[in-house]
């Protein structure tokens, strides 16, 4: 297994250096003639009004919260699935209970209209 | 050395280099370096082909001819495009957040290249056969989501920011059913190693035949994860111009473009690995080189399916997209997961387990389709009733 992760280490260096090399190559090749108008924000030929980084929809937070729940669930389910053949009936009941609790959470969120995009 | 068997390549190479007098550690590093570079080269060269294929395919569907000027059948069009993008002036908005603006394309490409490391191409041909392979895929592909948000946020453009938010909302939502489908596959295969998942599908017992419902979930989630139609509202041209990479040009845009098509390739590869038997096929065990052929045929078919969907389907609205993920796909994936777990613990003979899983999968899909049809009819009827009232 150490050899496999060793490959990943070498591969990570290559995977990072290829895009960086591309950017460096383009930096050497491309023309550089900037002027202020060129560097303005792209928006239909008009100048942008107001700040970009303002408040945004709270709905995104709700979905992110539900997602975190399910993602943590997945982290617990993966080892359960791998060791499944060695587990007894208790392991099955435990796993199903775990999924059902999350299911109840999803239904609660559904009933409280957290899943509606308003 | 048997050239037809890639597994003998590594020991042969290591003994050759060590014969020259390099230490064992550096020989391994060199061998890994060669493997890594060939993986990256494979990815880049296949992208040149896939982009051409997609443009030709979409053109034929829309009754056009598509690229046909550069090279035979326009095959060199992508190379010409790449050279053009490389020599374009780099225009960065003056108000952009420079660090994350420049880091985003690098991270996006990094994440897809890293995912390539666990794709099983043939018997014994895999970058790194991790025993946590499936978890590794989900973990690494999250870096891509982060890169998209970084690009959208740092561009200081309202459209880009909206695109970035949509990317996060969509990719996170569809990651849940995708991961649940993967857990079902892991349950059935009993391992997270991708080579062992392929091995579990020996003898034509593809997981596609055992769990067609899970396959359907996975391929829908893959379309969404790949930001393809009908889930391409992240870059809906008519709403937010181009999404999170609106302010990118030249090579930085090219990297996002490459990421998109590499995602297509690797999602198709993982669909093949999880459900279509991977590199398995007649005589693939004895003649490992055949494994490549089967892998490429299956993956190309899945890619063709994705292109077909992209060329023919309209786009969803954001509320429809989110509702479909959380109200249809997530509950279905949880139900299918529970069903798989229960059937596997019944203690039936293997053939009965497969048959029961198949029947239950089809039943679940039909029930979900029934509910979906009723909900859609209600949705269509509702405005009429309001007018009547």
- For chain A, how many structural domains are there in total? 2
Both A25 and A68 in one domain: the answer is: no
List, for residues B43-64, the tens digit of each pLDDT value. Answer: 888 888 889 988 899 898 888 8
The pLDDT of A33-42, averaged and rounded, is 79
Q: Is B113 on the interface with A (CB under 8 A)?
A: yes
Q: Is residue A16 situated within a structural domain? A: yes
List, for residues B67-120, the tens digit of each pLDDT value. Answer: 888 888 888 888 888 888 888 888 888 888 888 888 899 999 999 998 888 888
In chain A, which residues have their Cβ closer than 8 Å to the Cβ of B322? Answer: 63, 115, 117
Q: Domain spans of chain B?
A: 88-380
The range of the structural domain enclosing residue A107 comes to 58-111
Q: Is residue A45 situated within a structural domain? A: no
Q: Is residue A50 situated within a structural domain? A: no
Candidate from B105, B109, B186 with C-beta closest to A81: B186
Query: What local confidence, expressed as pLDDT, does residue B234 receive?
Result: 74
Using the structure block, give the residue that is written with the tokens 């494994």.
Answer: B291
Both A65 and A35 in one domain: the answer is: no
Candidate from B158, B327, B341 with C-beta closest to A96: B341
Looking at B107-116, B241-250, B294-303, which range is the least confident one? B241-250
8 Å CB contact between B202 and A92: no
The pLDDT of B142-150, averaged and rounded, is 88
Both A25 and A62 in one domain: the answer is: no
User: Would residue B315 be called left, alpha or beta, if left means φ above 0 and alpha means ψ between -120 and 50 degrees?
Assistant: beta
Q: Is B341 on the interface with A (CB under 8 A)?
A: yes
Q: Is B93 on the interface with A (CB under 8 A)?
A: yes
Return the bridge partners of B122, or none: B125
Q: Is the pTM above the cut of 0.90?
A: no
Which CA distances in Å does B22 have to A6, A10, A13, A24, B189? Answer: 18, 18, 22, 32, 40
Both A30 and A73 in one domain: the answer is: no
8 Å CB contact between B108 and B171: no
Query: What local confidence, expressed as pLDDT, does residue B6 receive?
Result: 62
Closest CA to B254 of A39, A30, A12: A30
Q: In Å, how far is A76's CA from the nearest CA of chain B?
A: 10
**Which one is predicted more confidently, B347 or B218?**
B218
Both A63 and A99 in one domain: the answer is: yes
Query: What local confidence, expressed as pLDDT, does residue B110 receive?
Result: 92
Both A63 and A23 in one domain: the answer is: no
In chain B, which residues have their Cβ closer than 8 Å to the Cβ of A57? Answer: 165
Which CA distances in Å does A34 have to A39, B102, B103, B176, B360? Answer: 7, 17, 21, 44, 63
Residues 47-66 of B with CB under 8 A from A: none
Determine the Cα–Cα distance for residues B341 and A93; give it in Å rounded to an integer: 10
Whole-number average pLDDT of chain B:
84
Q: Is residue A18 situated within a structural domain? A: yes
Q: Is residue A48 situated within a structural domain? A: no
In chain A, which residue ranges form alpha helices assigned H by DSSP? 2-29, 59-82, 89-111
Q: Is residue A10 situated within a structural domain? A: yes
In chain B, which residues have their Cβ closer than 8 Å to the Cβ of A17? Answer: none
ipTM reported for the complex, 2 dp: 0.85
- Is residue B383's pLDDT more than 50? yes
Both A26 and A65 in one domain: the answer is: no
Q: Is residue A49 situated within a structural domain? A: no
The reply to whether residue A6 touches residue B330, judged by beta carbons under 8 angstroms, is no
The reply to whether residue A19 touches residue B161, judged by beta carbons under 8 angstroms, is no
The pLDDT of B305-332, averaged and rounded, is 86
């Amino acid at each position: 297994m150490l050899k496999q992760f060793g490959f990943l280490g070498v591969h990570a260096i290559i995977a990072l250096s290829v895009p960086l090399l591309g950017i460096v190559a383009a930096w050497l090749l491309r023309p550089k003639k900037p002027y202020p108008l060129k560097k303005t924000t792209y928006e239909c030929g008009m100048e942008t009004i107001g700040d970009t980084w303002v408040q945004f929809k709270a709905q995104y937070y709700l979905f992110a919260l539900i997602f975190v729940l399910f993602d943590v669930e997945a982290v617990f389910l993966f080892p359960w699935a791998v060791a499944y053949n060695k587990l007894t009936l208790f392991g099955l009941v435990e796993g199903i209970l775990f999924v059902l609790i999350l299911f109840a959470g999803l239904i609660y969120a559904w009933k409280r209209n957290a899943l509606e995009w308003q | 050395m048997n050239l037809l068997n890639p597994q003998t390549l590594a020991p042969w190479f290591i003994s050759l280099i060590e014969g020259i007098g390099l230490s064992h550690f550096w020989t391994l590093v060199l061998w890994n370096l060669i493997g890594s570079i060939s993986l990256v080269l494979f990815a880049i060269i296949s992208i040149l082909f896939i982009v051409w294929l997609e443009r030709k395919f979409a053109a034929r569907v829309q009754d056009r001819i598509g690229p046909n000027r550069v090279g035979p059948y326009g095959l060199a069009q992508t190379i010409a495009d790449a050279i053009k993008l490389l020599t374009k002036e780099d225009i960065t908005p003056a108000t952009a957040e420079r660090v994350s603006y420049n880091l985003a394309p690098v991270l996006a490409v990094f994440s897809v290249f890293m995912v390539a490391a666990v794709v099983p191409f043939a018997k014994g041909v895999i970058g790194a056969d991790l025993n946590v392979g499936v978890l590794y895929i989900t973990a690494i592909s999250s870096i891509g989501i982060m890169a998209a948000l970084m690009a959208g946020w740092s561009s200081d453009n309202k459209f880009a920011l909206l695109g970035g938010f949509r990317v996060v909302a969509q990719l996170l939502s569809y990651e849940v059913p995708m991961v649940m489908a993967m857990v079902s596959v892991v349950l059935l295969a009993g391992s997270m190693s991708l080579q062992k998942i392929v091995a579990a599908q020996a003898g034509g017992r593809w997981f596609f035949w055992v769990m067609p419902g899970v396959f359907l979930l996975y391929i829908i989630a893959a379309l969404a994860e790949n930001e393809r139609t009908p889930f391409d509202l992240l870059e809906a041209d008519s709403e937010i111009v181009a999404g999170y990479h609106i302010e990118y040009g030249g090579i930085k845009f090219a990297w996002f473009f490459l990421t998109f098509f590499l995602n297509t390739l690797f999602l198709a590869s993982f669909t093949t690995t999880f459900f279509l038997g991977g590199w398995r096929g007649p005589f693939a065990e004895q003649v490992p080189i055949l494994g490549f052929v089967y892998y490429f045929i299956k993956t190309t078919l899945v890619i063709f399916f994705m292109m077909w969907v992209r060329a023919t389907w309209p786009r969803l609205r954001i509320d429809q997209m989110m509702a479909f993920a959380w109200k249809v796909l997530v509950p279905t994936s949880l139900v299918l997961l529970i069903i798989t777990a229960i059937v596997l613990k019944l203690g039936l003979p293997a053939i009965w387990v497969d048959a029961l899983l198949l029947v239950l999968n089809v039943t679940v899909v039909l029930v979900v389709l029934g509910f979906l049809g009723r909900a859609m009819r209600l949705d269509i009827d509702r405005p009429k009733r309001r007018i009547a009232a």
